[in-house]
């Protein structure tokens, strides 16, 4: 399972560091290539000589090798690795990771990491439950880091409670299940629309909406994280993609999004329509800036834009179509009506009445409705977590295409 995988094993200064030698041994036995990066305090608990012998590679700890002055490149490590695992992660290392305090090689490596990062915390129970630690853990989760929850039991302090680093065998299981998950959608082609559209009135004005694109971008990361080949058709937003495998196509108007999306959707297994597409566009676009007139009012004639979801629904085949519905009233009824009218397989409903859902928010609260009328409601979560729920819900329809 781990054959040929490149893993960076970060070790920080806690007593649980003695277990890292066993973890390293298990990873190497499974066929992984492991590069150890240790903090200065980590070396107080386990020697680099042990770790170098077990990994078959010199341990990286300092920015420069003391004898040769050679620079250790954290950027190269970030590009080499398929996964970074920090075990043990002390409260201090977790705090530095959450806040970008790059004062050692482990943190600079983390900040340059393009790959998934996992963290196995290890500390005393009071440190673990402290609001500061919990805040930092939440930040890391929001940043996409996988947390391997500490176990409960006897702690080095003699106290008993939650904070013990998970056993190496359980960490290896979590690593394997990550790699398994990252290949679930290998070979599947997914197209996602995200963000608003801008409909030009004249060279300086447009009709737009408040969509931030965050939901669509989170979906793109989530699908790509499971190995899908993702094309993200993005309206004008200021977001960046993290996963380097996402192909991003920037568009501005609804017509442009329609054309780009339909051509990207050829041969796609799944299309997720998360964009807030303008329903209407000015009938004519003035080539020059429209001047203020004497009249107190002015009329703007609009014409209907193409409906991307409905166009795709008309020539559906076995492609899985997922739409969104942002409703203010009769939510479920309206969402189901939309699902049927546009011939979708799934519709994700969020209500504007909900303070934790909707435009520009980092959280969303959704109900996922299937074409058979099945509904699953979820509590308010970060958009990344909501994206994971949506992917989980549509996975069976994607798998059944095979």
- The residue from 41, 209, 334, 343 that is catalytic is 209
- Cβ at position 146, least distance to ligand C5P in Å: 29
DSSP class of residue 400? Answer: T
Cα separation, 342 vs 338, in Å, equals 6
215 binds ligand C5P (CB under 6 A): no
DSSP class of residue 43? Answer: G
List the one residue out of 56, 60, 2, 58 whose CA is nearest residue 29. Answer: 2
DSSP class of residue 291? Answer: P
* Residue-wise DSSP of 172-234: HHHHHHHHHHHTTTTT-EEEEEESB--EEEETTEEE-----SHHHHHHHHHHHHTT-EEEEEE
Q: For residue 74, what are its two tokens?
A: 């954290």
Out of 192, 277, 339, 388, point to the residue binding ligand C5P (CB under 6 A).
277
Query: Binding string, 163-202, against ligand C5P, x = CB under 6 A?
Result: ------------------------------x---------
Query: Binding string, 298-327, against ligand C5P, x = CB under 6 A?
Result: -------x-xxx-------------xxx--
Catalytic site includes residue 334:
no
How many residues make up the chain in this entry? 402
11 binds ligand C5P (CB under 6 A): no
Question: Using an 8 Å Cβ cutoff, are 343 and 323 in contact?
Answer: no
> Could you tell me which residues come within 8 angstroms of residue 250 by beta carbon, excluding any fewer than 6 positions away?
234, 236
List the one residue out of 172, 289, 176, 190 whose CA is nearest residue 233. Answer: 190
Q: Which is nearer to ligand C5P, 13 or 213 (CB)?
A: 213
Question: Using an 8 Å Cβ cutoff, are 344 and 313 in contact?
Answer: yes
Cα separation, 237 vs 248, in Å, equals 12
Q: Which is nearer to ligand C5P, 102 or 326 (CB)?
A: 326
254 binds ligand C5P (CB under 6 A): yes
214 binds ligand C5P (CB under 6 A): no
CA distances from 378 to 298, 338, 382, 386 (A): 45, 20, 11, 8
- Cβ at position 250, least distance to ligand C5P in Å: 17
* Residue-wise DSSP of 128-163: HHSHHHHHHHHHHHHTTPEE-PPEEEE-TTS-EEEE
Out of 24, 59, 232, 273, point to the residue binding ligand C5P (CB under 6 A).
273
DSSP class of residue 60? Answer: B
Using CB under 6 A, count the residues that bind ligand C5P.
13
- Cβ at position 378, least distance to ligand C5P in Å: 18
- Cβ at position 35, least distance to ligand C5P in Å: 43
Q: Which is nearer to ligand C5P, 74 or 338 (CB)?
A: 338
Q: Which is nearer to ligand C5P, 163 or 216 (CB)?
A: 216
Binding region for ligand C5P (CB under 6 A): 193, 254, 273, 275, 277, 305, 307-309, 323-325, 338
Residues known to be catalytic? 209
């Amino acid at each position: 399972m781990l054959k040929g995988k490149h893993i960076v094993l970060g070790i920080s200064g806690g007593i649980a560091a003695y277990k890292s030698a066993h973890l390293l041994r298990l990873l190497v036995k499974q066929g992984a290539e492991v590069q150890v990066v240790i903090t200065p305090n980590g070396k107080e608990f386990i020697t680099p000589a042990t770790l170098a012998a077990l990994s078959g590679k010199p341990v990286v700890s300092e920015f420069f090798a003391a004898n040769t002055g050679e620079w250790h490149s954290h950027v190269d490590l970030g590009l080499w690795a398929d996964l970074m695992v920090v075990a043990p992660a002390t409260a201090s290392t977790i705090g530095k990771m959450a806040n970008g305090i790059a004062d050692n090689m482990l943190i600079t490596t983390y900040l340059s990491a393009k790959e998934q990062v996992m963290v196995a915390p290890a500390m005393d129970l009071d440190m673990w439950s402290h609001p500061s630690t919990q805040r930092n853990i939440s930040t890391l989760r929001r940043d996409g880091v996988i947390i391997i929850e500490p176990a409960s039991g006897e702690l080095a302090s003699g106290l008993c409670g939650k904070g013990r680093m998970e056993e190496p065998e359980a960490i290896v299981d979590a690593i394997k299940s990550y790699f398994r998950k990252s290949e679930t959608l290998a070979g599947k082609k997914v197209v996602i629309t995200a963000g608003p559209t801008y409909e030009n009135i004249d060279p300086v004005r447009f009709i737009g909406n408040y969509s931030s694109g965050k939901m669509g971008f989170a979906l793109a990361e989530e699908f790509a994280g499971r190995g899908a080949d993702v094309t993200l058709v993005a309206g004008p937003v200021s977001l960046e993609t993290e996963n380097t495998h996402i192909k991003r196509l920037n568009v501005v108007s609804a017509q442009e999004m329609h054309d780009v999306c339909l051509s990207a959707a050829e041969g796609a297994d799944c299309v997720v329509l998360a964009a807030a597409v303008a329903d209407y566009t000015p009938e004519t676009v003035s080539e020059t800036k429209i001047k203020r007139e004497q009249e107190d009012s002015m009329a703007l004639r609009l014409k209907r834009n193409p409906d991307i979801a409905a166009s795709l629904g008309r020539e559906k085949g076995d492609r899985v179509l997922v739409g969104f519905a942002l409703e203010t009233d009769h939510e479920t009824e309206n969402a189901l009506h939309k699902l049927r009218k546009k011939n979708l397989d799934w519709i994700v409903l969020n209500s504007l009445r909900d303070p934790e859902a909707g435009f520009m928010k980092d959280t969303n609260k959704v109900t996922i409705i299937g074409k058979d009328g099945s509904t699953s409601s979820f509590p308010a979560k970060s958009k990344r977590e909501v994206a994971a729920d949506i992917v989980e819900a549509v996975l069976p329809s994607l798998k059944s295409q095979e």
